Structure 1
């Protein structure tokens, strides 16, 4: 089966590829990769990708010319679109035109909403499932209103983008002003009440109007955390695989509300991020319209969403369309590092000082 994966310079597309190559027993896969950066590591991973291509950015008028050429000349069966900007481009085209191959993507209406954390937060506010938040521009003349609403301890970040872009824990006005200045590319920020509890994720696979698969995990530590003032880089180095049906219920409740609001079909892959308050109540901080970088860790533990995705796209007659929340052994954790396969083990087996 020939699969095209876009954005292979990033960790998430390569994680998806590893989930197929190392942990899927569905079929043999020929993987093809694209990226816009000639220095992208994945473009040269010959052990992972059969062939790779340098392509224009999704915003370029030449983007679709190159993509369609690659798909036609290599007889691609299905594509997996992972960079956020490309998800938006493919979802937008899906509204009015046919796509050049099979792909599992959300409708543009819900994708457009979810990439804007500010709009998503506003729509979910009445469900009491998002933290108190304030949105402001970098040119705002009255930042004191943020402190009046949220107090002296809150989390600020960009309203769009991934990997903790523009994120910092703020405790005073001077720190906030300085942070705005050293992030000149961020035009709009969202400040949210700082939550002390666990950082959780719920993965959700929808297909043709039905929720088919979910799974939960906790992000504990991050790769290269020291290089980011927030300590968050978007790449989890240590996490826990969890069985938390209550968290899934909260994610479903939010997604049902968002599907209804946008009139979008229940279709696509979503990663719902939560942060708990001091009492253990989870609040949604963002919802990604794609897989995230530790997809291969789920796959190594038996929750192979990458394989599920291509089986659905391939109309696999043996795929069970009944809903399933993936469950893991108790105490199961994963360790990740740059350019390395994950290690799964019991947390009780960690070395002690």
Structure 2
């Protein structure tokens, strides 16, 4: 009988991507899905589905325990930052395996300003970042950057480029932050102003145990899913088009960032990096304890399925690898609204495609 895995967040894009990766990598797994929203849960691709309380609900643990005990769950996988933090807080009371970083590391990684400050103090490349004390502090902070230089304004927590926008002037930043305060209830102290990074955009997902990297994979974001213009920054951690790449320098910085966050790192770490004007990869955030939304690109290509490896390590099974950089170049993830993410090799884009852009005689 195979292991039994509970995915919290089943039915969402990332939840179903996790289920897809696990099912593709190990058909013997029994996959159980949980979500607090029955409408989202209806889209779950798990074998069994459970309506549970939201992780912020006072009875979340009780509903989780009912599922775990009824289904004899071996491993629980949270798929959002909020669920990671809540499950981490309850780790001593949840009656199944959790494979999470320490509570300190989770809290550090969920505050982008504190993380950036922590990394820079330890020699890991990260953008110069300043926190806001109030709206009036925008002007003095702006003066610290070079004139006419773009500045990145963003909320210091959350994902998907929440509240992020490039600005050229202090007035633009103040207007943006003021709008979020008035219309969205996000205080100015939740924002930071930081160095703008114009270069290539990378992501790295790695699996760790007691400070040792087990498996590392790197990809590059080429285009973004921005919801028809609803992301004014023009970028997002949610890629519409991404590809696997062999970039040792990016992998090295990503691993250095995880080590700097925790010398005894354990669990799954997703590191976002962007190049500065000199082409140096800088760490912009670390998603600690959960799979990246585009995890299929990393699980369905290469020698090793990272999420299946995650489950095996969580259960204490030997996996026979240490610090393995699994590179399968030129695989692409293509994503859009209401479609299953496609994972294709570069050669696939020419199969069964007839080019009608030019006459056949001119080809």
Same fold judged by TM-score > 0.5?
A: yes
Given that 1:241 and 1:328 are in contact with CA atoms closer than 8 Å, whether structure 2 keeps it comes out as yes
Q: Distance in 2 between matches of 1:181 and 1:39?
A: 34
> What's 1:130 paired with?
126
> What's 2:112 paired with?
117
1:31-42 alignment runs, 5 A limit: 31-40=31-40
Given that 1:199 and 1:220 are in contact with CA atoms closer than 8 Å, whether structure 2 keeps it comes out as yes
> What's 1:4 paired with?
6
Q: Distance in 2 between matches of 1:349 and 1:6?
A: 34
> What's 1:304 paired with?
305
Matched, 1:174 2:175: no
> What's 2:361 paired with?
none
Q: Distance in 1 between matches of 2:347 and 2:197?
A: 24
The alpha carbon displacement at 1:309 in A equals 1.0
> What's 1:335 paired with?
334
CA deviation map 1:261-305 (0-9, x unaligned) = xxxx32010011111012211111001112111101112213421
SS in 2 for 1:129: coil
Q: Distance in 2 between matches of 1:166 and 1:347?
A: 38
Given that 1:301 and 1:344 are in contact with CA atoms closer than 8 Å, whether structure 2 keeps it comes out as no
- Shift in alpha-carbon separation, 1:253–1:224, aligned structure 2, 3 A: closer
The alpha carbon displacement at 1:313 in A equals 2.6
Given that 1:333 and 1:347 are in contact with CA atoms closer than 8 Å, whether structure 2 keeps it comes out as no
> What's 2:360 paired with?
none
- Shift in alpha-carbon separation, 1:198–1:112, aligned structure 2, 3 A: same
The alpha carbon displacement at 1:93 in A equals 2.6
- Shift in alpha-carbon separation, 1:55–1:304, aligned structure 2, 3 A: same
SS in 2 for 1:183: helix
Indicate the structure (1 or 2) with the bigger Cα radius of gyration.
2
- Shift in alpha-carbon separation, 1:348–1:134, aligned structure 2, 3 A: farther
The alpha carbon displacement at 1:143 in A equals 1.2
> What's 2:261 paired with?
258
Q: Distance in 1 between matches of 2:80 and 2:245?
A: 26
1:65-214 alignment runs, 5 A limit: 65-94=62-91, 97-126=92-121, 127=123, 129-137=125-133, 139-151=134-146, 152-184=149-181, 185-187=185-187, 188-214=190-216
Given that 2:297 and 2:331 are in contact with CA atoms closer than 8 Å, whether structure 1 keeps it comes out as no
CA RMSD after TM alignment: 2.1
Given that 2:225 and 2:336 are in contact with CA atoms closer than 8 Å, whether structure 1 keeps it comes out as yes
The alpha carbon displacement at 1:233 in A equals 4.0
> What's 1:52 paired with?
49
CA deviation map 1:300-343 (0-9, x unaligned) = 213421111112233434x21332101113x3332122331313
